[in-house]
Amino acid sequence: MAYNGIVARVMADSIAVEVGLEPGDRLISVNGESIRDIIDLSFALSDECVELLIQKVSGEQEVLEIEKEYDEDLGIEFESAVFDGVRRCANKCIFCFVDQMAPGMRESLYVKDDDYRLSFLYGNFVTLTNTVPQDIDRIRRLHLSPLYISVHTTNGTLREKMLNNKNAGKIMEHLDTLITNDIEMHTQIVLCPDINDGEELEKTIRDLYSLHPNVISMAIVPVGLSRYRENCYSLQVFSPEKALDVITLVRKWQEKCRKRSGTSFVYLSDEFYITAGQPIPEYDLYDGFPQLENGIGLVRNFLHEWEQAPIITTGYDSPQHIDVVCGISAQKILEPLLQSISIANLTIRVIPIENDFFGNDISVSGLLTGQDIVNKLTQIGGTRTGVIIPGVALRKGEGVFLDNMTLDEVEKRLGIAVYAAYSAEELRQLLQAWR
Note the residues at the interface with ligand SF4 (CB under 6 A): 89, 91-93, 96, 98, 112, 114, 127
End-to-end alpha carbon distance in the chain: 53
Which amino acid type is present at position 72? E
Q: In this complex, which beta carbon is closest to ligand SF4, that of residue 124 or of residue 432?
A: 124
Closest contact distance (angstroms) between CB of 155 and ligand SF4 is 17
Exposure on the CB side of residue 328, measured as CA atoms within 13 A: 12
Structural contact between residues 174 and 133, judged by C-beta atoms closer than 8 angstroms: no
We find the least distance from the C-beta atom of residue 171 to ligand SF4, in angstroms, to be 13
User: Kind and range of the H or E element at 29?
Assistant: strand 26-30
Nearer to ligand SF4, 90 or 414 (CB): 90
**For the sheet containing 386-390, what is the strand order?**
346-353, 320-327, 386-390, 417-421
Task: State how beta strands 76-78 and 61-67 pair.
Answer: unpaired
- Residue 242's CB is within 10 A of a number of other CB atoms, namely 20
Residue number, 110 or 422, with CB nearest to ligand SF4: 110
130/423 with CB nearer ligand SF4: 130
Instruction: Considering the complex, state which of residue 87 and residue 384 has its C-beta at the smaller distance from ligand SF4.
Output: 87
Nearest 5°: phi and psi at 179? -65, -40
Q: Quote the least distance from Cβ 126 to ligand SF4, whole Å.
A: 8
Residue 127 or 371: the one with the smaller Cβ distance to ligand SF4 is 127
Least separation in angstroms between residue 81's CB and ligand SF4 is 18
Residue pair 163/126 in contact (Cβ under 8 Å)? The answer is no
- If the CB atoms of residues 89 and 195 are measured against ligand SF4, the closer one turns out to be 89
Torsion, Cα of 424, 429, 430, 435 (10° steps): -170
Name the residue nearer to ligand SF4 (CB basis): 92 or 252: 92
Beta-strand pair 386-390/417-421: parallel
Distance CA 268, CA 270 (A): 6
What count of other Cβ atoms lies within 10 Å of the Cβ of residue 249?
Answer: 19
The DSSP code for 306 is: H
Shortest separation between residue 124's beta carbon and ligand SF4, angstroms: 10
Nearer to ligand SF4, 162 or 407 (CB): 162
Min dist. Cβ of residue 255 to ligand SF4 (A) = 31
Of 404, 344, 409, 420, the residue nearest 374 (C-alpha): 409
Minimum CB distance to ligand SF4, residue 127 (Å): 5
Phi-psi region of 287 (alpha: psi -120 to 50; beta: other; left: phi over 0): left
**What are the phi and psi torsion angles at 252 (to 5°)?**
-60, -45
Minimum distance from CB of 153 to ligand SF4 (Å)?
13
Toward ligand SF4, which CB reaches closer, 118 or 374? 118
Nearest to 291 by CA among 188, 362, 214: 188
Among 252, 263, 318, 261, smallest CA distance to 285 is for 263
SS3 292: helix
| Min separation Cβ 304 and ligand SF4, Å | 31
Residue 219 CB, nearest distance to ligand SF4 (Å)? 15
Contacts of 180 (CB under 8 A, 6+ apart): none
Nearer to ligand SF4, 150 or 263 (CB): 150
Question: Minimum distance from CB of 92 to ligand SF4 (Å)?
Answer: 5
Report the C-alpha gap between 421 and 432 in whole angstroms: 13
